[in-house]
Amino acid sequence: MLYSEKVMDHFTNPRNVGTLDNADGIGEVGNAKCGDIMKIFLKIDKENGVDTITDVKFSTFGCGSAIASSSMATEMIKGKPLSQALELTNKAVVEALDGLPAHKLHCSVLAEEAVKAAIKDYYDKNGIEYDHAKLESKHDCEHCGE
Amino acid sequence: METIYVDNAATTKMSKTAINAMLPYLDECYGNPSSLHTVGQLAQEALVRAREEVAKALGAEPREIFFTSGGSEADNQALLTGAERGALKGKKHIISQKTEHHAILHSLRRLEKQGYEIELLDVDEFGNVTAEQVKNAIRDDTALVTIMAANNEIGTLMPIKEIADVCHEKGVLFHTDAVQAAGHIPLNVHEIGCDMLSLSAHKFHGPKGVGALYVSKKLFPSTLIEGGAQERGRRAGTENIAGISSMAAALTESVANISENTRKLTAMRDRLIEGLSEIPHSVLNGDRNNRLPGNVNMCFEGIEGESILLLLDAKGICASSGSACTSGSLDPSHVLLAIGRPHEVAHGSLRLTLSEENTPEQMEFIIKSVKEVVEYLRGMSPVWQDLQEGKKKYVIQ
């Protein structure tokens, strides 16, 4: 089979699908021309004085691995402090999915970037200082130049 | 769960006739047709019979049939034949069109690197080229025109007889890739007037790894594979007797059933198109009527094809798509782009290709399942949400 059981599970029963009406941070990455767009919505509240992701939703246009990567990434950051969510890597998403085919690895990169874009949106909206280098886009698409 | 196989343009299930025709040559009749002894000569007789059968199915003479390893090899050999023959007369211009199979397009790219000038004609929104376009493109130095009989993705039937006529008026060779057409629509090389024609056994319920190239007796094909004297020295390698015998049986059977199968497939195809067109913002790819009897190809806006395929597979439905994710490249189908679909719409394509083993009940299940899958995926698509909220404009009305 093309995909692991984990990928198929997260594709056919995706977690956290949907949108949040009053999201504190929204991140959208990808390009319909290339066939993948990921949008992540974050609800952020102070828990014990720490900014924490209390709810997260996603909507994704893309292939099976794009949907599974979005689902897994949202599971991995749900309930976590922002500082921890910022450490999410595409590699961790791939490992949690028991691997992705080589030509699908970019889907996991999109998931990492969507999370970071949503956090950046939250920081920008609230005038919070952050390390810009850490939230710079790594996504390098030769195809669409984004 | 019932498996509903609707990917017959990718490959077909072998017929019982084809399997039975193959078995003796895997077992007791194992000889090499080049051997002089009795065991070898029995294989030689099978080869002669198969060549006669394939020739008869195409209205050709046995000496005009060259067996190959499949459609791709036949296409490669045909283009090499046209190119080399042209070069002898100083003609190095070759005409084709944009929706050809990669066996043609990539061979042409190689010829281009070798100094040939390749001209790919545009197709219209239904995937058609006209004889007029070909006529206008032919020059004094045109060596070959190659236009497929039927498109593998969108099923469009090309006017190959008219194209053959304009080629002959101008004394230009004409080849047609009939891999999707053979065994599915009537093909007679004399009625068409083609100089070369390629076919592949596994597209008409024969085995994989075997095909044939028809080459008019007025020509002599160039050699792609050098070695022994098989196929009159034009294609070396001990003949795949089991595959060749099986292909001959499968082709004879398919050709005998063309009218009955066409009637059956066309009715199911039309029902599928009708049912799937009820999905909002969907569009049929290819010509509504001038298409292969078993081909349906649709685009659904706001979603991606691989996701559709995986969810349909979970329901037992085996189909295909022209999305980039299914092609293993970054671009969606070159055919869908050639008929003018934008990238984002081409990603959301679904191809369903029927065989006579499918049933009308299966068509109803497919329609129901595709509707569910499209609705589900649109429900989680940010693109669809933007379209619904008017932030983006629909491409497909």
In this predicted model, what pLDDT tens digit does every residue of B163-172 receive, in sequence order?
999 999 999 9
- pLDDT value at position A2? 85
CA geometry: angle B23, B27, B31, nearest 5 deg:
110
Residues in Cβ contact with B144 at an 8 Å cutoff, skipping those fewer than 6 apart? B79, B82, B83, B85, B86, B94, B95, B172, B173, B174, B175
- The answer, for A34 touching chain B at a CB cutoff of 8 Å, is yes
Query: In this structure, what token pair is assigned to residue B47?
Result: 């080869």
Whether A63 sits among the annotated catalytic residues: the reply is no
- pLDDT value at position B340? 97
Which structural domains are found in chain B, ordered by start? 16-256 (3.40.640.10), 258-388 (3.90.1150.10)
pLDDT at A68 over 70: yes
Query: In this structure, what token pair is assigned to residue B159?
Result: 């006017």
CA dihedral A90, A91, A93, A98 (to 10 degrees): 150
CA distance B144 to B82: 6
* Average pLDDT of the residues in B178-203: 98
- The answer, for A59 touching chain B at a CB cutoff of 8 Å, is yes
- pLDDT value at position B97? 98
- Indicate whether A77 belongs to any domain: yes
pLDDT band at residue A131 under the 50/70/90 scheme: confident
Query: In this structure, what token pair is assigned to residue B365?
Result: 């299940």
Mean pLDDT computed over every residue of chain B: 97
Q: Do A19 and B385 touch (CB under 8 A)?
A: yes
Higher pLDDT, B330 or B383: B383
pLDDT band at residue B377 under the 50/70/90 scheme: very high
Q: Find the CATH number of the domain harbouring A118.
A: 3.90.1010.10
- The answer, for B350 touching chain A at a CB cutoff of 8 Å, is no
Chains A–B, number of C-beta pairs less than 8 Å apart: 72
CA dihedral B41, B47, B49, B52 (to 10 degrees): -140
* Average pLDDT of the residues in B335-348: 95
Q: Do A61 and B343 touch (CB under 8 A)?
A: no
Whether A34 sits among the annotated catalytic residues: the reply is yes
- The answer, for A101 touching chain B at a CB cutoff of 8 Å, is no
Task: Report the percentage of chain B scoring pLDDT > 90.
Answer: 97
DSSP per residue, B187-225: --HHHHT-SEEEEEGGGGTS-SS-EEEEE-TTS-PPPSS
**Minimal Cα distance from B380: which residue of A?**
A59
Q: Do B323 and A34 touch (CB under 8 A)?
A: no
**Minimal Cα distance from B322: which residue of A?**
A35
Q: Do B325 and A63 touch (CB under 8 A)?
A: yes
Of A11, A34, A103, the CB nearest to B310: A11
- Indicate whether A17 belongs to any domain: yes
- Indicate whether A114 belongs to any domain: yes
- Indicate whether A111 belongs to any domain: yes
pLDDT at A32 over 90: no
Do B184 and B215 form a contact (C-beta atoms < 8 A)? no
Do B296 and B273 form a contact (C-beta atoms < 8 A)? yes
In this predicted model, what pLDDT tens digit does every residue of B275-290 receive, in sequence order?
999 999 999 999 999 9
CA distance B80 to B175: 11
| ipTM of the modeled complex | 0.91
Give chain A's domain count.
1
Which of B:11-50 have CB within 8 Å of A? none
Which of B:262-291 have CB within 8 Å of A? none
Interface probe, candidates B306, B327, B337, chain A, greatest A C-beta count within 10 A: B306
In this predicted model, what pLDDT tens digit does every residue of A72-130 receive, in sequence order?
999 999 999 999 999 999 999 999 999 999 888 989 999 999 999 999 999 999 999 88
Do B108 and B118 form a contact (C-beta atoms < 8 A)? yes
Q: Do B306 and A67 touch (CB under 8 A)?
A: no
CA distance B335 to A31: 21
In this predicted model, what pLDDT tens digit does every residue of B97-140 receive, in sequence order?
999 999 999 999 999 999 999 999 999 999 999 999 999 999 99
CA distance A8 to A10: 6
- pLDDT value at position A137? 66
- pLDDT value at position A144? 52
In this predicted model, what pLDDT tens digit does every residue of B293-328 receive, in sequence order?
999 999 999 999 999 999 999 999 999 998 877 666
Do B67 and B235 form a contact (C-beta atoms < 8 A)? yes
- pLDDT value at position B156? 98
Do B118 and B142 form a contact (C-beta atoms < 8 A)? no
The dihedral sign for the CA sequence B254, B260, B266, B271: negative
- pLDDT value at position B131? 98
- The answer, for A19 touching chain B at a CB cutoff of 8 Å, is yes
- Indicate whether A137 belongs to any domain: no
Q: How far is A96 from chain B (nearest CA, A)?
A: 20
In this predicted model, what pLDDT tens digit does every residue of B129-161 receive, in sequence order?
999 999 999 999 999 999 999 999 999 999 999
Q: Do A35 and B347 touch (CB under 8 A)?
A: yes
Q: Which helix (H) or strand (E) holds A132?
A: none
CA distance B313 to B309: 6
Please report residues of B whose CB lies closer than 8 A to that of A104. 325
Residues in Cβ contact with B221 at an 8 Å cutoff, skipping those fewer than 6 apart? B66, B77, B78, B81, B196, B213, B215, B234, B235
Please report residues of A whose CB lies closer than 8 A to that of B328. 103
- pLDDT value at position A62? 94
- Indicate whether A140 belongs to any domain: no
| Residue B50 CA from chain centroid, whole number | 22
Long-range contacts of the stretch B369-373 (C-beta < 8 A, 24+): B369/B312, B369/B315, B369/B317, B370/B276, B370/B279, B370/B308, B370/B312, B371/B276, B371/B278, B371/B279, B373/B308, B373/B311, B373/B312, B373/B315
Closest C-alpha among B312, B269, B308, B246 to residue B12: B246
pLDDT band at residue B10 under the 50/70/90 scheme: very high
CA distance B9 to B203: 7
- pLDDT value at position B285? 98
CA distance A107 to B14: 37
Closest C-alpha among B359, B363, B333 to residue B151: B333
- The answer, for B88 touching chain A at a CB cutoff of 8 Å, is no
Task: Report the percentage of chain A scoring pLDDT > 90.
Answer: 78
Q: Do A62 and B330 touch (CB under 8 A)?
A: no
In this predicted model, what pLDDT tens digit does every residue of B351-373 receive, in sequence order?
999 999 999 999 999 999 999 99
CA geometry: angle A125, A127, A130, nearest 5 deg:
105
Q: How far is B396 from chain A (nearest CA, A)?
A: 15
Please report residues of A whose CB lies closer than 8 A to that of B303. 61
Do B97 and B176 form a contact (C-beta atoms < 8 A)? no
Q: What sections of chain B are H helices per DSSP?
A: 16-22, 38-58, 71-88, 102-113, 131-137, 160-169, 189-192, 241-256, 258-276, 305-314, 324-327, 334-338, 343-346, 360-379, 382-388
Q: How far is A50 from chain B (nearest CA, A)?
A: 30
In this predicted model, what pLDDT tens digit does every residue of B212-238 receive, in sequence order?
999 999 999 999 999 999 999 999 999
- pLDDT value at position B108? 98
HSE-up (13 A, CA, CB side) for residue B12: 30
- The answer, for B389 touching chain A at a CB cutoff of 8 Å, is no
pLDDT at A132 over 90: no
Query: In this structure, what token pair is assigned to residue A123?
Result: 């920081």
| Residue B14 CA from chain centroid, whole number | 17
Q: Count the Cβ atoms, other than its own, within 10 Å of residue A145.
A: 7
Residues in Cβ contact with B36 at an 8 Å cutoff, skipping those fewer than 6 apart? none
Q: Do A61 and B306 touch (CB under 8 A)?
A: no
- Indicate whether A139 belongs to any domain: no
* Average pLDDT of the residues in B13-39: 97
- The answer, for A27 touching chain B at a CB cutoff of 8 Å, is no
Q: How far is A124 from chain B (nearest CA, A)?
A: 22
Of A35, A58, A143, the CB nearest to B304: A35
Residues in Cβ contact with B364 at an 8 Å cutoff, skipping those fewer than 6 apart? B271, B275
Residues in Cβ contact with A13 at an 8 Å cutoff, skipping those fewer than 6 apart? none
Do B204 and B15 form a contact (C-beta atoms < 8 A)? no
pLDDT band at residue A135 under the 50/70/90 scheme: confident
Q: Do B385 and A143 touch (CB under 8 A)?
A: no
Distances from the Cα of A46 to the Cα of A120, B17, B114, B267, angstroms: 17, 72, 68, 62
Range of the domain at A51: 5-125
- pLDDT value at position A133? 78
Distances from the Cα of A94 to the Cα of A44, A70, A78, A104, A137, angstroms: 25, 11, 17, 10, 19
CA distance A66 to A7: 10
Please report residues of A whose CB lies closer than 8 A to that of B383. 32, 37, 61
- Indicate whether A48 belongs to any domain: yes
Query: In this structure, what token pair is assigned to residue B147?
Result: 């236009």
- The answer, for B310 touching chain A at a CB cutoff of 8 Å, is yes
Q: Do B382 and A67 touch (CB under 8 A)?
A: no
Please report residues of B whose CB lies closer than 8 A to that of A61. 302-304, 381-384
Query: Which parts of A14-121 are beta strand (E)?
Result: 25-31, 36-47, 50-61
